[in-house]
């Protein structure tokens, strides 16, 4: 097994052969991937070395000290945090070879075509249809059985769809079975005919989300992930990784939303009151607890697949962001309501800390919706972590086509 000393040697060899100061950014990233130093816990040949996940920090520290470029992970977070682990687990050898390298280097941006109007919190009720050319939904083998699927439907709340080349897509392939059983998972080319992306303007004024219409989109069976009808199980891998990537990100002390509030408190003593002081202390402590809990979660991830702990972290992330941003607006008074840019923008990434307090307050409202609503995540934690009785589900064994809509 690769150890820390070997990784340091490999990293320094990479830096020697491809000095960051004299190597084009993309060339360096490709060389890093090929050297197995992209994500060290991935298999050899796919950007990794089958090393313990915890050793990634060793590589990152060496590269950062040398001034090496990174792959701008915030811009390609959906690919890194959701698409990649799903492709690694369920993809064929050809799919892994084709998609993982340009995904990691950022040459190809990914988006997630999951939620639909009427199928957000109840994602398994989705209605986007994929029909094989011969009209069948038969077959249970892996991707590559031949033939095309024709997809029709609508997706919504799709981050980065206006930038993406590829999408992870779940569809209804068999309406005659209960909703969780008739779903199939695909990789969709966002440049194909029939894919239309429309912006959704948010309360912040920008349009980082989109709605996507799929009209007669042809997807070859070679772009299917997992077996036909097994898409819900494949999607669970995506969703669990998504919640970890949102709620379990690595932050320094006073990183994230708590940082701007703490700076304002220190720099502007005239704004202080006893009540605001107590509230800030409480939220500062909770932010630290969340930060350390996220670190422990990442350590658990090093030993295997993400579990339902990510749902709890994502819950805490949303609540803290909303409470902290609300305190910041209150702390600043009338000034806190100012927001300098209401123009219609199509951002490449969400920048919480580089904007005004008013922007942070408005944008954080979406944190309890995106990546799984807080209500759904509370159910998951209650049932699957705490072992509480599940909610009644009267539609569990009803064919999807017979569900009330």
Q: What tokens appear for 47 in the block?
A: 């950007």
Q: What tokens appear for 189 in the block?
A: 């080319």
Let me know: does 371 contact 243? Beta carbons within 8 Å.
Answer: yes
Alpha-carbon dihedral 297, 300, 305, 307, rounded to 10 degrees: -50
Catalytic residues: 242
DSSP of 354-405, one letter per residue? Answer: TS-HHHHHHHGGGGGTTTS-HHHHHHHIIIIIS-PPPPP-TTTTSBGGGS--
Q: How far is it, in rounded angstroms, from Cα 67 to Cα 96?
A: 29
Q: How far is it, in rounded angstroms, from Cα 42 to Cα 118?
A: 37
Let me know: does 173 contact 130? Beta carbons within 8 Å.
Answer: yes
**H-type alpha helices, 18-132:** 25-34, 56-65, 77-78, 84-90, 93-105
Helix or strand (DSSP H, E) at 189: strand 183-189
Within a 13 Å sphere around the CA of 269, how many CA atoms are in the beta-carbon half? 0
Let me know: does 220 contact 85? Beta carbons within 8 Å.
Answer: no
Q: What tokens appear for 94 in the block?
A: 């050809």
Q: How far is it, in rounded angstroms, from Cα 215 to Cα 135?
A: 17
């Amino acid at each position: 097994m690769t150890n820390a000393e070997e990784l340091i040697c490999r990293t320094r060899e990479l830096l020697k052969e491809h000095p960051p100061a004299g190597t084009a950014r993309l060339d360096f990233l490709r060389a890093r991937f090929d050297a197995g130093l992209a994500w060290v816990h991935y298999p050899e040949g796919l950007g990794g070395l089958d090393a313990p996940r915890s050793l990634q920090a060793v590589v990152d520290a060496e590269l950062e000290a040398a001034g090496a470029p990174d792959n701008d992970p915030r811009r390609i977070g959906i690919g890194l945090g959701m698409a990649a682990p799903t492709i690694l687990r369920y993809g064929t050898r050809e799919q892994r070879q084709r998609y993982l390298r340009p995904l990691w280097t950022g040459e190809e941006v990914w988006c997630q075509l999951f939620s639909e109007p009427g199928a957000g919190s109840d994602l398994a009720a989705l209605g986007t249809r994929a029909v094989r050319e011969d009209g069948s939904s038969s077959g249970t083998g892996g991707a590559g059985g031949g033939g095309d699927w024709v997809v029709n439907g609508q997706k919504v709340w799709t981050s980065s769809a206006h930038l993406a080349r590829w999408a992870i897509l779940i569809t209804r392939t068999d309406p005659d079975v209960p909703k969780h059983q008739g779903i199939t998972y695909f990789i969709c080319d966002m440049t194909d005919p029939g894919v239309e992306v429309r912006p959704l303007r948010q309360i912040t004024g920008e349009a980082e989300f989109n709605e996507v219409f799929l009209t007669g989109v042809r997807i070859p069976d070679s772009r299917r992930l997992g077996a036909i009808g097994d898409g819900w199980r494949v999607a669970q891998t995506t969703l669990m990784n998504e919640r970890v990537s949102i709620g379990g990100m690595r932050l320094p002390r006073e990183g994230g939303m708590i940082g701007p509030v703490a700076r304002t408190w220190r720099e502007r003593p005239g704004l202080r009151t006893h009540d605001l002081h107590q509230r800030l202390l409480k939220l500062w402590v909770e932010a630290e607890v969340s930060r350390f809990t996220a670190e422990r979660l990442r350590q658990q991830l090093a030993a295997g697949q993400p579990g339902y702990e990510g749902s709890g972290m994502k819950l805490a992330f949303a609540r803290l962001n909303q409470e902290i941003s609300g305190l910041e607006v209150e702390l600043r008074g009338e000034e806190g309501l100012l927001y300098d840019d209401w123009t219609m923008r199509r951002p490449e990434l969400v920048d919480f800390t580089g904007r005004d307090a008013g922007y942070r307050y408005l944008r954080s409202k979406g944190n309890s919706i995106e990546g799984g609503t807080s209500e759904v995540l509370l159910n998951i934690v209650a049932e699957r972590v705490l072992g509480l009785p599940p909610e009644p589900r009267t539609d569990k064994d009803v064919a999807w086509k017979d569900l009330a809509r």
